[in-house]
Amino acid sequence: MSQSNIPTVYNPREVEDKWYQHWEEKKYFHAEVERDKKPFCIVMPPPNVTGQLHMGHALDNTLQDILTRWRRMQGYNALWVPGTDHAGIATQAKVEEQLAKEGLSKYDLGREKFLERVWDWKEQYGNRITTQLRRLGASCDWDRERFTMDEGCSKAVLEVFVRLFEQGLIYRDYYITNWCPHCQTTISDIEVEHLDKPGQLYYIQYLSKDDPGESIIVATTRPETILGDVAVAVNPEDERYQHLVGKKVVLPIVGRELPVIADDYCDPTFGTGAVKMTPAHDPNDFEIGRRHGLPEVRVMDKHGRMNEQAGKYQGLDRWECRKRIVQDLEALGALVKVEDISHAVGHCYRCNTAIEPMLSKQWFVKMQPLAEPAIEAAKDGRIQFVPERFTKIYLNWMENIRDWCISRQLWWGHRIPVYYCQDCREMVASAEPVTRCAKCGGAVEQDPDVLDTWFSSALWPFSTLGWPEKTPELEHFYPTSVLVTGRDIIFFWVARMIFSGLNFMEEEPFKGVFIHGLVLDSQGRKMSKSLGNGVDPLDVIESHGADSLRFMLITGNTPGNDIRFHFERLDGARNFANKLWNASRFVMMNLADYHEQAQGGDYTLADRWILSRLQNIAAETTGFLEKYELGEAARVLYEFIWSEFCDWYIELAKPRLFGKTTPEDRVTAQKVLVHVLRETLELLHPFMPYITEEIWQKLPHRGETVMQANWPCPQEKFRDEAAEMEMALLIEAITAIRRIRGEMNVPPGKKAEVLMVAGDPRIQGILERNQAYVQALANAEVQVLAELLEKPDQAASAVTRGIEIFVPLRGLIDIEKEVARLNKELRTVEADLQRIHGKLNNQGFLAKAPADVVEKEKAKKEELSLKAAALKDRLAMFETKA
């Protein structure tokens, strides 16, 4: 193997596209059903077709890719199913934006033509994110890519709807939902972003009907909704209002008589303790209203304008109506006071419009019968959350779950398969199109709404494997092995997949739920367009390479916890890749005469040590992966590669590659280098697939690709605790000598005389047998002693593992110059200490300075005190004996 085909510098751009194209062309990611292999399956949380890769996607898919590549190398029948979500609101909004530029609306085209335009848009732009996932290195089975509105998934959606409908678990009713006046549809809770906004709290007086001297004061942030008030509620235990319960008060402006009702929901300590009831415009009021049989008066239309129920305010926008109502209340003397507050206001995540809780007729799924088995599956351990603390969060939500609103007022999506007879009003749910009424033969009309996007993604673990057909894939790969997802969608997606899988497959959809946190910016803030703090993964891949991005996202990552994005850590990951490349290049440059069949000599201590350490690292890496502690797995690999292999073993092997040694010794060093490097690359491959493939291919190897290599398993024949103990002792001693040389400014080229004193005969023997290692790596002439009769003058010393180390400095450095330098540095440090001491004794400074500034000064004082003590110790060393 010649040096010419090993580039001096690792260039990710030259490597990544080449290898990904090769892997995909060779179909290394593809999985057929192989019944003699144990299945491993992950379904990708489907990103929106409108989306582009962001750091959350990068983290989520890197974790999935690591697990899939690892299991594939372990010999599992590994399948990672990719796919995208049709993203009803977002995709329809994109196409409507295009139409608006043409001066058209969806109504100009009609439903059928509009949907044709959406499909055209999807074909043109919908593959953007899957192309970007390829750049990340995602080893998905792209032959099995799914889309929530492809033929198979759509069939599953319709089948599920009809079955739930026939089970009596789907119904239609009036209910409070999140309504977006701009998107003109209901939206799910996850699509509501709660933003802190400045606002006002208005205190309004409602006079008693029977006694004008008596009144109740309520507080509201939305005075425009008083037009829909139908009652005032108080806590039954609130003594202030007990005498009014059952009586009536008069609604200001409108004049409507409102009953005063008692309900435990009301908190006597919050606000005035009295709550206005607007069941058509507040979810809590709605629940109370249903309990007490209150009427539901809706005073706004779907555009957020006041309707005919609003009387003289009809036609006003809700914000303008608020201003007018406040003015009128003030004129009537009913406005008691107004307080400025900051409060969370729900906004549509797509258009940023303030959502309006609004009563409307929608389709719902009854959740209690579906939730009960899903609760039991988590309680009895059939589904395990990692970390375990998320089990409690999941259970708390499931045990308090409300019915699920599944209808959306859109055209893009799975249209609700319910048909209404135009003559006899018969209603039927059918997975197949219905053209005539089965009861009377009359014409039918299909429900205009579509299903919530989460309805289709709730079926993802089994619809992607072919359900409702009994496919070989469904039989072999279901239930899937693990779901990898962010902590922010446990309720909205994870829970729905669990109850859907249990209901339709009679088995949980996955065994484990691996929860990861969010990727925050360096200040710990969520990345967002409004803050302008987002980092584009594709820019990072372009500048640092996909492997560096992946490794940065993994290292320091613990299950369930958020991570901060630091460019310094990204640079560190790139430095690691370069370190690995340079070490590998060194190995390959010394293999020109290498032959696998050549006979080597005996293993040295260094050989036995590194081979034994490799077994431990293989075991640790596998153990951490089994526990989903991927960050820890990456850490042990990083430390082994950077320190033990690159910094120590390669240096220890150099004398046998370059020195006057036997051919057998050179062969042994080559064999160990190749073996350890190759297996290390195989362990690292799931984390950094590109660089490991590039190097592995250049090393002597068997097989076509590192991703099909056998996962390294610990081999007992290479375990050697004695070698590990001995080498650890030597490494500490060499490190101590190096530290002394550095601290004393000993020129690198000067050989030092070193005395090593070991009272323990066993340790003495280790040092004597391995003096060559110490001499080579510490640039020292070593003398090993059982005891020291007299401590040498002007010698730096250290103690490590029962070894006393002395390095006489005379002749190594200019002692007079060093003493002058140390004295100068000590004077500077003591001057700084005096200045800080003065500050901390200044009562004016302590009173005015922020607490963090004072703490920094105290920490600086501690640091300088330690430094001064160390400088004094060094100076004392140079004192000549009398």
Beta carbons of 516 and 60 less than 8 angstroms apart: yes
Quick: pLDDT tens for 503-559: 999 999 999 999 999 898 888 888 877 678 888 999 999 999 999 999 999 998 888
At residue 759, does pLDDT exceed 50? Answer: yes
- Domain range enclosing 229: 185-357
Same domain, 333 and 227: yes
DSSP three-state, residue 420: strand
Q: What residues contact residue 210 under an 8 Å CB cut-off, 6+ apart?
A: 247, 248
Tell me the pLDDT band of 844, cut-offs 50, 70 and 90.
Answer: confident
Which secondary structure element, helix H or strand E, spans residue 738, and what is its range?
helix 721-743
CATH number of the domain that residue 632 is part of: 1.10.730.10
Tell me which long-range contacts 762-765 makes (C-beta under 8 A, separation of at least 24). 763/729, 763/801, 763/802, 763/803
Instruction: Work out the number of other CB atoms within 10 angstroms of the CB of residue 786.
Output: 10
Q: Which residue has the higher pLDDT, 628 or 873?
A: 628
DSSP state of 256: -
561 conformational bin, left if phi > 0, alpha if psi -120 to 50, beta if neither: beta
**CATH number for the domain including 823?**
1.10.287.380
User: Please, which residues have CB within 8 angstroms of residue 331's CB and are 6 or more apart in sequence?
Assistant: none
Residue 2 clears pLDDT 70, i.e. is over it: no
Question: Is 828 found in the same domain as 748?
Answer: no
Edge-to-edge strand ranges of the sheet holding 384-386: 384-386, 510-516, 480-486
* Number of domains, the chain: 4
Residue 801 shares a structural domain with residue 658: no
Strand partners, 483: 513
This prediction has a pTM of 0.85
Closest C-alpha to 252, from 225, 220, 227, 275: 227
Tell me, yes or no, whether 304 and 333 share the same domain: yes
Q: Are 12 and 690 in contact, with CB atoms under 8 Å apart?
A: yes
| C-alpha to C-alpha distance for 20 and 269, rounded to whole angstroms | 62
Q: Write down the mean pLDDT value for the chain.
A: 92
Can you give the CATH number for the domain in which 353 is found? 3.90.740.10
3-state helix, strand, coil in the chain (%, to 5): 50, 20, 35
Answer yes or no: are the C-beta atoms of 730 and 766 closer than 8 Å. Answer: yes
Cβ-contact 417, 433 below 8 angstroms: no
Annotated binding site: 529
What amino acid is encoded at 295 in this protein?
P
204 and 343 part of one domain: yes
List the CATH number of the domain containing 739: 3.30.2320.20
In a domain, 170, yes or no: no
Q: How far apart are CA 374 and CA 358, in angstroms?
A: 30
CB 812 within 8 A of CB 750: yes
The residues facing 48 across adjacent strands are 85
pLDDT digits (tens, 9 = 90+) for 106-148: 999 999 999 999 999 999 998 899 999 999 999 999 999 999 9
Which residues sit in the known binding site for ATP? 529
Element (H, E) at 260: strand 257-262
Output the pLDDT for position 530.
67
- pLDDT, one tens digit per residue, over 603-619 is 999 999 999 999 999 99
| Neighbouring-strand partners of residue 485 | 515
Output the six-digit token pair for 796: 């730096």
Cα-to-chain-centroid distance, residue 96: 32
| Domain boundary residue, one of 335, 357, 379 | 357
Tell me, yes or no, whether 630 and 731 share the same domain.
no
For the chain, how many residues are written?
882
Checking if the pLDDT of 4 tops 60, the result is no
pLDDT over 90 at 749, yes or no = no
